[in-house]
Amino acid sequence: MSISSIWLFTLFCVIYGSVAEHHVYRNLQSVSSGSTNQPYRTAYHFQPPKNWINDPNGPLRYRGLYHLFYQYNPKGAVWGNIVWAHSVSKDLVNWTPLDPAIFPSQPSDINGCWSGSTTLLPGNKPAILYTGIDPQNQQVQNLAQPKNLSDPFLREWVKSPKNPLMAPTSANKINSSSFRDPTTAWLGKDGHWRVLVGSKRRTRGLAILYRSKDFVNWVQAKHPLHSTLGSGIWECPDFFPVLNKGTLGLDTSVIGNYVSHVLKVSLDDKKHDYYMIGSYNVAKDAFIPDNGAKEFVLRYDYGKYYASKTFFDDGKKRRILLGWVNESSSVADDIKKGWSGIHTIPRTIWLHESGKQLVQWPVVEVEKLRANPVNLPPQVLKGGQLLQINGVTATQADVEISFQVNNLREAEVLDYWTDPQILCSKKGSAVKVGLGPFGLLVFASKGLHEYTSVFFRIFKQQNKNLVLLCSDQSSSSLNKDNDLTTYGTFVDVDLLHEKLSLRTLIDHSVVESFGGEGRAVITARVYPTLAINDKAQIYAFNNGTTDVKITSLSAWSMKKAQIS
Ligand code: DQQ
């Protein structure tokens, strides 16, 4: 490299660059703007009034109130100046913003307060462990505790004078730029707390394990809880028990032969959240994946979704999952609208009865926003038929549809396994075959110049049927500057004995779809230019050559939640 190209490269890294999963636009981090024309702001998904948000942090329920902290840039619509913003809620749907809870104030976090989690210590005392960026730009772990435990809003947090409590040193050989995002801690029968910190050693992703008796003095365990070769860094790890049978959630410290454990990681290399189901070997303090799995395959969400975190809701005895959905628009567009990033509707999460995967469903409280129900009678949806769903606000809706598929002989043969996302891209909603595509067209403009399609296709492979769920954004907008990736996954549904269901939450620029009663989830961001406000329409469609039956179809307009 010549001197001038080194200089140009350095300049490029100063202006742009990349930190964790985030692009760094240093010159834009404190630029505030925001136009008044806002067709893409969501009405019932969580987002602050303006600026950038990313990961949900430290969710918990305290004295009957839900607390959500999140990574936030108070000064602009791109990642930077990161603090822990804070909102509270009685129902996980309506939120009241409070002042930021944690912001740079001591050497151990002076360059940023990154992601982390909350643990409830004995006596119902919340404690936050979070990643701070120190003056040497090293990633270290810090503790903060509420100033006043009698304040249900937990407005003020006091940082430990002993921070940082966990730090890279020459002795422990921890990679100082890959050491972040502590989990909720769990308490072992030996009275010691355990916590995980995401990291990597070369390309091996790992969850470094620490133990502590007092939550202040932490000792690194000899071995990580788990690691996988080639995955790259594990961001935002999450580790929690699930009942082997049943939908109730469990406190993070529960162990026993009636539970399995879930290890979830956010893979920066792939930009997706993956999980494994397995068991927690208490004697070895190790996670043992079921069936000897060596790598992460399952995902929470097969669309745009990252840096998720769960918490145990001790009120309703359920485990709740929160996740960040980035924009699919250009940075220039984000700055123009003055904001970037939303969170998904909180989802209840449990182990499917097969034990092979998790199931997710929007928290029941979101149904309080449903208005003007529209119920269509069961009917046959003929090959090539488009059925408009009238009477709901098409940009702000909740639609549940269920199909019965009889002529399984008509299913297209799939000779060999193909990546479902590639299959969805190749066989978009316009490609007709035997069984499918059938599903929903949302954000559809008159004349279908714009639409987003969420649909199923049924294949035959050997003696089995394969159900594909796709979310196709390729025609979602006339503005082609957006990320228009088509998403897809297979759904484990037994079509001989089960109906095929799809629920889609539609909210101005987000399409959150749950297939097979929550066994497959895909979230997409879309920015129609024609199908906005009252110009948008919703349809059920069948573009296959074979008829399918709609066994039920209910749709609701969704009221606006009180969020900002
Ligand atoms: N976001 C945080 C990091 C985390 C990343 C920084 C994941 O702590 O690893 O904003 O999106």
Is there a contact between 279 and 242 (Cβ–Cβ < 8 Å)? no
| Local confidence band at 24 (pLDDT 50, 70, 90 cut-offs) | confident
Distance between CA atoms of 192 and 281, rounded to whole angstroms?
15
* Spacing, Cα 268 to ligand 1 middle (Å): 9
- Nearest atom in ligand 1 to the alpha carbon of residue 198 is 9
- Nearest atom in ligand 1 to the alpha carbon of residue 55 is 11
> Residues of the chain with pLDDT > 90: what percent?
90
The stretch 378-396 carries a mean pLDDT of 97
- Nearest atom in ligand 1 to the alpha carbon of residue 71 is 10
- The residue among 362, 395, 415 that closes a domain is 362
Q: Is residue 113 domain-resident?
A: yes
* Spacing, Cα 308 to ligand 1 middle (Å): 10
Distance between CA atoms of 236 and 308, rounded to whole angstroms?
7
Nearest protein Cα to ligand 1, atom 9: 235
Distance between CA atoms of 229 and 250, rounded to whole angstroms?
30
At 6, list the tokens.
């080194």
Quick one: which of 229, 322, 306 has its CA closest to 266?
Answer: 306
Q: Please enumerate in sequence order all residues whose Cβ is within 8 A of that of 320, keeping only pairs 6 or more positions apart, or say none.
A: 59, 92, 249, 310, 311, 312, 313, 346, 347, 348, 349, 363
Residues 340 and 452 in one domain: no
* Ligand 1 probe mutation, 79, 117, 180, most atoms within 8 A of CB: 180
Distance between CA atoms of 218 and 58, rounded to whole angstroms?
19
Element (H, E) at 7: helix 3-15
Phi and psi at 549, nearest 5°, equal -110, 130
Residues 209 and 321 in one domain: yes
Residues 201 and 94 in one domain: yes
Q: Is residue 228 domain-resident?
A: yes
Domain boundaries, position 451: 370-558
**CATH number for the domain that contains residue 200:** 2.115.10.20
Q: Is 109 helix (H, G, I), strand (E, B) or coil?
A: helix
* Ligand 1 probe mutation, 18, 29, 142, 181, most atoms within 8 A of CB: 181
The DSSP string of 289-347 is EGGG--S--EES-SSS-EEEEEEEETTTTEEEEEEEE---S-HHHHHHHTEE-EEPPPE
* Ligand 1 probe mutation, 18, 51, 54, 111, most atoms within 8 A of CB: 54
Q: Is residue 14 domain-resident?
A: no
| Local confidence band at 498 (pLDDT 50, 70, 90 cut-offs) | very high
* Spacing, Cα 114 to ligand 1 middle (Å): 6
* Spacing, Cα 470 to ligand 1 middle (Å): 28
Residues 406 and 287 in one domain: no
pLDDT digits (tens, 9 = 90+) for 323-366: 999 999 999 999 999 999 999 999 999 999 999 999 999 999 99
- Nearest atom in ligand 1 to the alpha carbon of residue 233 is 9
Distance between CA atoms of 495 and 116, rounded to whole angstroms?
41
Res 274: pLDDT: 98
Q: Which residue has the higher pLDDT, 429 or 331?
A: 331
Residues 257 and 281 in one domain: yes
Q: Does residue 18 have a pLDDT over 70? A: no
* Spacing, Cα 262 to ligand 1 middle (Å): 21
Q: Is 444 helix (H, G, I), strand (E, B) or coil?
A: strand
Residues 138 and 217 in one domain: yes
Q: Is residue 56 domain-resident?
A: yes
Residue whose pair of structure tokens reads 């001038």 in the numeric block = 4
Q: Does residue 418 have a pLDDT over 70? A: yes
Res 25: pLDDT: 82
* Spacing, Cα 373 to ligand 1 middle (Å): 40
**CATH number for the domain that contains residue 512:** 2.60.120.560
The stretch 200-215 carries a mean pLDDT of 98
- The residue among 317, 334, 362 that closes a domain is 362
Any residues with Cβ below 6 Å from ligand 1, and which? 20-22, 54-55, 71, 82, 114-115, 131, 180-181, 235-236, 266, 306-307
Residues 247 and 193 in one domain: yes
pLDDT digits (tens, 9 = 90+) for 508-520: 999 999 999 999 9
Residues 451 and 334 in one domain: no
Residues 284 and 418 in one domain: no
Residues 358 and 391 in one domain: no
Q: Is residue 36 domain-resident?
A: no
The stretch 246-260 carries a mean pLDDT of 98
Distance between CA atoms of 141 and 199, rounded to whole angstroms?
12
* Spacing, Cα 521 to ligand 1 middle (Å): 23
Res 432: pLDDT: 86
Total structural domains in the chain? Answer: 2
- Nearest atom in ligand 1 to the alpha carbon of residue 266 is 7
| Ranges assigned E (strand) in 473-525 | 487-491, 500-507, 510-515, 520-525
* Spacing, Cα 179 to ligand 1 middle (Å): 11
Q: Is residue 481 domain-resident?
A: yes
Q: Is residue 16 domain-resident?
A: no
Fill in the amino acid letter for 390.
N
Phi-psi region of 63 (alpha: psi -120 to 50; beta: other; left: phi over 0): left
Please provide the average confidence, as pLDDT, over all residues in the chain: 94
At 103, list the tokens.
């912001």
Residues 294 and 426 in one domain: no
Q: Does residue 21 have a pLDDT over 70? A: no
| Local confidence band at 8 (pLDDT 50, 70, 90 cut-offs) | very low
Is there a contact between 471 and 513 (Cβ–Cβ < 8 Å)? yes
Residues 304 and 442 in one domain: no
- The residue among 362, 382, 409 that closes a domain is 362
Distance between CA atoms of 404 and 369, rounded to whole angstroms?
28
Residue whose pair of structure tokens reads 């822990």 in the numeric block = 84
Q: CA 271 from chain center: how many Å?
A: 11
| Local confidence band at 2 (pLDDT 50, 70, 90 cut-offs) | very low
Catalytic residue annotation: 55, 134
* Ligand 1 probe mutation, 18, 22, 267, most atoms within 8 A of CB: 22
The DSSP string of 175-233 is -TTSEE-PPPPEE-TTS-EEEEEEEEETTEEEEEEEEESSSSSEEE-SS-SEEETT---
- Nearest atom in ligand 1 to the alpha carbon of residue 115 is 8
Give the pTM: 0.95
Q: Does residue 541 have a pLDDT over 50? A: yes
